[in-house]
Copies of this chain bind each other. A is one copy, B any other.
Amino acid sequence: MSTNQLLKGTLQTIILKLLEDNHEMYGYEITQKVKDVSEGGIILTEGALYPTLHKLEADGLLETYTQVVDNRVRKYYKLTEQGGKEVTNKLKEAGEFINQLQALLNLKPIIK
């Protein structure tokens, strides 16, 4: 499935924010939530999602446990204390970036 070419670098922030709001989620659940909220506009591929989750865990921002539901394994992720702090920083940066991007993309012509 082709995601648009704009989703770059913000995936960590999206994941951390989802986990801040929802306490804990498993990978597949995250993909569905992103699809729902973006009304199908942002499709999280597994190839992007799982390595990112693993990296966030390795960096100490997330912790996990697994649970079997209907004979299928789910791996739940939630924020660590450090992750809780980091999400605030990342959201601030993302907000600033979005503002700057909007300023650039709404630039009015220069009157000479």
Decide: A6 and B41 in contact? CB cutoff 8 A. no
Chain B contacts for A109, CB-based, 8 A = 21-22
In the complex, A68 has a CB within 8 A of chain B: no
- Size category of the A interface is 35 or more
In the complex, A74 has a CB within 8 A of chain B: no
Interface mask (A85-99 → B, CB under 8 Å = 1, otherwise 0): 000000101111110
Assembly CA distance A91 to B105 (angstroms): 7
> For chain A residues 49-86, which have a beta carbon within 8 Å of chain B?
none
B14, B42, B103: which contacts A37 (Cβ < 8 A)?
B103
Assembly CA distance A1 to B6 (angstroms): 23
